[in-house]
Chain A
């Protein structure tokens, strides 16, 4: 009987899985990901971006394994503080399997249309990571973990799948490194795969970078500047591919993920879901979660768009007929230099003048830390990436502020804003000059 299986993939060519992993892939939570779009309604802007979280999850499993194999290889461990935390023998094999399964399952808690509805349509304290954790700890999944040739502990999978930010428990240094391999800010397999995959499907070349070189040069290293606590870093020879990754991330965020039309469709989707669920939001119990995918929601959107008496008709119609709110303002550097609260002041002024029903706004600030990670130089010295790379010093955090208006009032609102803009945004420290604040 065949014990290893190959799955074709547009990004990684072949992804190999064994029969134990097939059991996890065939489980309902992972199969459900075949019906969750990776990028929500982005295909309304980039028509090719119709890929799903299922293939992304396979890709993360493949990449995480490659990173794990590189950084735990004996000749790649040069420091005693690192050697003391890296497992060996059966323990290493156990954690490799945990890592692969955690990577495969890291997205199983995603709601229909991924992130679009998460912030406002789940009960307080819930997010997709919490649903992922619940699923991993559920009885049906525990049966799978216990039935594997080498049984796995659900708590270990959970920790690596959701990472330290969301797991709510302490991480050992070894577990922190493994979680970083999957969900880390700088070199996480999740990020590497989604940048490559999203850019491929969206047809946006900016997302590409030499991930083979990057992974080949990743190392577990002590930090520059004092602590011997290990972190994921890189050999100096891979620094340019790391720069390319971080630039790709910047470009993909500004060009694709925060494209203004994509963002306003997310808002119409949220408006629809709120009305469709009669204000109750989306369910968090496992049975309801597993039975709700993009297909059920999109079917409801089409129904509601065709029938003015259905709940959510108006936002559904805007999505289906592409009659979205139009952009009337986006942040500029000069506005933020003048006053960091510029966008908030503009939203307040426009809402006062034209009514809340005519205005929508969207705001996002980049997350994650500065792109500071250890770099080992050819002479063995470890330094900060920011010190060695002018590119990393200057890549700005992503930040967007958009204000949108009803399509039929766009011109009127734009004209009014042009006339009043200077008055609405007083220089910081002189806020009393603003009529609307």
Chain B
């Protein structure tokens, strides 16, 4: 069943809060990649369409939704460290939405926590490699060998070396075996 907009925002808020708890920078790129893992690997479907674009899997729908959440005073941006991009921080109203849609958020909580625990402490470069690895493994070359998948990552993102791509595929395969039901 398709969630209502604010119900979906409650799940997005819960994910951002969980990422913060794991020490994530929580810039837009961190949230984008975490959401891709939540949908593609953990199976929570919020109907954000992802394509391979900025720093790996990227959803224009999610980008628009995050902007809409800022417009509706559910998210704020904050600068935490000179030189770095901004972080996204849920507001008091966003947390009220989480309470309002508690049933939905509680249902998705194990998957949210799983994703936050695994990607929460990763930087943008890590997330780009891992997100692209998952994208390739699921959508581009699902039945291919590790080496073929790594070559595809290197072709799509030339600044990711072949060895980095192999490592990313191995990590993603390991995570896939641990996803909560």
Q: By the criterion CB–CB under 8 Å, are B123 and A226 in contact?
A: yes
Q: Name, among B6, B53, B72, the residue most crowded by chain A CB atoms within 10 Å (CB to CB).
A: B72
Pair B97/A372 contact, Cβ less than 8 Å: no
Q: In the complex where A170-B52, A398-B71 touch, is A341 in contact with B83 (Cβ < 8 A)?
A: no
Bound-state CA distance A164–B63 (Å) is: 13
Residues of B within 8 A of A139 (CB): none
Residues of B within 8 A of A370 (CB): 28, 66-67, 70, 77, 86
Q: Which of A82-101 contact B (CB under 8 A)?
A: 84-85
17 further interface pairs, Cβ-Cβ under 8 Å (given A396-B70, A399-B72, A428-B93): A164-B51, A165-B60, A170-B51, A170-B156, A171-B52, A223-B124, A225-B83, A225-B84, A225-B124, A227-B125, A231-B54, A333-B73, A370-B70, A372-B28, A383-B82, A383-B84, A429-B99
A367 near B100: Cβ-Cβ < 8 Å: no
Question: B34-87: which residues lie under 8 A (CB-CB) from chain A?
Answer: 51-55, 60, 63-64, 66-68, 70-74, 77, 79, 82-86
Per CB-CB distance, the 8 closest pairs between chain A and chain B, nearest first, are: A399-B71, A365-B68, A226-B124, A397-B71, A384-B85, A429-B96, A340-B72, A165-B60
Residue pair B28, A428 in contact (C-beta under 8 Å):
no
Contact of B54 among A168, A224, A229, A367 (CB under 8 A): A229
In the complex the two chains form, is A384's CB within 8 Å of B74's CB?
no
For B28, B60, B71, the residue with the greatest tally of chain A CB atoms inside 10 Å of its CB is B71
With known contacts A176-B53, A176-B54, A340–B6 Cβ distance under 8 A: yes
- Nearest to B65 among chain A residues (CB) is A365
Q: Does A322 contact B (CB under 8 A)?
A: no
The interface residues of chain B lying within 8 Å CB-to-CB of A383 are: 82-84
Whole-angstrom distance between the alpha carbons of A226 and B77 in the complex?
19
Residue A8 is within 8 A (CB to CB) of chain B in the complex: no
Describe A's contact surface by its main secondary structure.
loop
Q: Decide if A146 is an interface residue (CB 8 Å cutoff).
A: no
* Interface check B20, CB cutoff 8 A: no
Closest to A430 in B: B96
Number of A interface residues at 8 Å Cβ cutoff, please give it. Answer: 44
The answer to whether the Cβ of B159 comes within 8 Å of any Cβ in the partner chain is yes
User: Contacts A231-B54, A365-B67 hold; do A340 and B97 have CB atoms under 8 A apart?
Assistant: yes
What are 5 contact pairs spanning A and B, CB under 8 A?
Answer: A81-B159, A164-B60, A171-B53, A366-B71, A368-B67
A159 to B160, CA, bound (A): 24
CA distance A340 to B70 in the complex (A): 11
CB nearest neighbor in B for A167: B51
Contacting residues, chain B, for A84 (C-beta < 8 A): 158-159
CA distance A370 to B71 in the complex (A): 11
| Shortest CB distance A85–B (Å) | 8
CB pair B67 A173 closer than 8 Å: no
A74 at the interface (CB under 8 A from B): no
A294 at the interface (CB under 8 A from B): no
CB-nearest residue of chain B to A343:
B72
A411-437 vs B, CB cutoff 8 Å, 1 = contact: the mask equals 000000000000000001101000000
Q: Mark A216-231, 1 if CB is under 8 A from B, else 0.
A: 0000000111111101
Closest to B62 in A: A369
Answer yes or no: A356 CB below 8 A from chain B CBs: no
Among B93, B123, B128, the most chain A Cβ lie within 10 Å of the Cβ of B93
Q: Please measure, in the bound complex, the distance between the C-alpha atom of A227 and the C-alpha atom of B84, giving whole angstroms.
A: 12
Cβ of A393 under 8 Å from chain B: yes
| A373 nearest CB neighbor, chain B only | B85
CB distance from B44 to the nearest CB of A (A): 22
- A170 and B141 CA atoms in complex are apart in Å by 14
Given A337-B73, A366-B67, A399-B72, A227 and B124 touching (CB < 8 A)?
Answer: yes
* Cβ contact within 8 Å between B128 and A227: yes
Given contacts A84-B158, A429-B96, contact A396 B71 (CB under 8 A): yes
Q: Is B90 an interface residue (CB 8 A)?
A: no
Closest Cβ of chain B to A104, distance in Å, is 24
Is the CB of A387 closer than 8 A to any CB of chain B? yes
Q: Is the CB of B158 within 8 A of A340?
A: no
C-alpha spacing A211/B22, complex, angstroms = 42
B79 touches A226 (CB 8 A): no
Knowing A164-B53, A365-B64, A369-B28, say if A384 contacts B83 (CB, 8 Å): yes
Q: Of B6, B83, B96, B97, which one neighbours A381 at CB under 8 angstroms?
A: B83
Cβ-based interface call for B89 (8 A): no
| Complex-state Cα separation, A85 to B159, whole angstroms | 10
Residues of A contacting B67 with CB < 8 Å? 365-370, 397
Hey, what's the 0/1 contact readout for B1-39 against A, CB within 8 Å counting as 1? 000001000000000000000000101110000000000
Cα distance, A244 to B174, chains bound together (Å): 48
CB-defined contacts of B84 to chain A, threshold 8 Å: 224-225, 383-384, 387
In the complex, chain A residues whose CB is within 8 Å of the CB of B158: 84-85, 173
Cβ-defined contact, B73 with A340, below 8 A: yes
Determine the residue in chain B with the shortest Cβ distance to A429. B96
| Distance between Cα atoms of A176 and B56 in the complex (Å) | 12
| Chain A residues within an 8 Å CB radius of B55 | 223, 227, 229
Q: Mark A195-222, 1 if CB is under 8 A from B, else 0.
A: 0000000000000000000000000000
User: CA of A336 to CA of B6 in the docked complex: distance in angstroms?
Assistant: 13
